[in-house]
Amino acid sequence: MHDVVIIGGGPAGLTAGIFAVKRKLNALVLEAGEPGGQLLYAFWIENYPGFGKIEGKELAKRFVGHASDAGVQIKKEEVHSIEKRGGNFVVKTSDAEYEAKSVVIASGAKCRNLGICGENEYMGKGISFSANCDVQNFKGRKVAVIGGGDSALKAAIFCTQFASEVYLIHRRNEFRAEESLQAELKKSNVRLVLNMAPKEFKGDASLESILLEDVNSKQTTELQVDGVFVYVGNTPTSSLASKLGVELDEKCFIKVDSMQRTNVPGVFAAGDITGGILQVIAACGEGAVAAVKAYEYVKLQKA
């Protein structure tokens, strides 16, 4: 029996783990992939106090090291279901079943796809969700980044170090990315393709071009590229929570109160899965609050 099972090993889950073990809770973090979450795909972070500018992978490594040193048990297992059993919860993975007095859901959000023709066909054959991991495959070649948020601008700027030409395709002529990134973009040699919506990915064995539609004139043009990085936002991974009866908002993020409590007593949520500003520092803060509240919940059940 665990006091708390934490689902997700990103910044929120690892912080929840650290706070839980410091309170002597028997805590387990379950993570399907490598611990570190979205940080593993982040180019650089420059708004996490105390670190100045740091690579996402490096910050992830430090989080995991800190959690392990603190005694957080992290298992690489994918969670398939969370069920209620009496006053407790049963978390099932492909390998095992864990009983817990409380649960912190910190499973984050995954990259949203465009849902256009050719996207599935050329995924991994020219299309990727991670410029950080895959741009090395396009050294000296033409790439495009799709999107207009922080992620897309960072990716485009990063790609200029490797690719011969970098296009940033955005469906409007204004970016939602933060001002400092927009200023950096202006200084870079990224070529802007604005007011253009991607309609289709084309190619043969691998991706060769993108069909784009002018959002005003509806005219289409084809842009020849070797690689495309899609950064059009995130979708929360909240289906397990929903099946447990946890309330979601209209965008499928988990609804929490200011203490990270969901509508199901004993179930807390933290990090990108709760929506909001989707920043590392916010995820860590939410993870800390969730663990403290899980501790109080467990103690109250014992009393």
Choices 4-12, 124-132, 150-158, 251-259 (CB under 6 A): range interacting with ligand NAP: 150-158
Q: What is the DSSP string of 251-295?
A: TSPBP--TTSB-SSTTEEE-GGGG-TT--HHHHHHHHHHHHHHHH
Q: Does 232 bind ligand NAP (CB under 6 A)?
A: yes
Contact call for residue 271 and ligand NAP (CB under 6 A): no
> With binding defined as CB under 6 A, does residue 279 bind ligand NAP?
yes
Residue closer to ligand NAP, measured from CB, 25 or 157 = 157
Out of 110, 139, 172, 251, the residue judged to bind ligand NAP by CB under 6 A = 172
Where b means 16+ CB within 10 Å and e means fewer, 115-142 reads eeebbeebbeebbbbbbbebbeebeeeb
Does 61 bind ligand NAP (CB under 6 A)? Our answer is no
**Cβ atoms within 10 Å of 232's Cβ, excluding its own:** 19
Q: Which of 18, 278, 288, 291 binds ligand NAP (CB under 6 A)?
A: 278
Q: Does 233 bind ligand NAP (CB under 6 A)?
A: yes
Is 203 a binding residue for ligand NAP by CB under 6 A? The answer is: no
DSSP 5-19: EEE--SHHHHHHHHH
Q: Distance between alpha carbon 175 and the CA centroid of its chain, in Å?
A: 20
Residue nearest to ligand NAP (CB): 149
Residue 98's SS3 state is strand
Note whether 11 and 271 are within 8 A (CB).
yes
Could you tell me the maximum CA-CA distance found in the chain, to the nearest angstrom?
69
Of the ranges 16-24, 136-144, 230-238, 244-252, which one interacts with ligand NAP (CB under 6 A)? 230-238
Q: How far is the CB of 191 from ligand NAP (least distance, A)?
A: 17
Q: Which residues bind ligand NAP (CB under 6 A)?
A: 45, 47, 114, 146-152, 154, 171-172, 176, 197, 231-234, 277-279
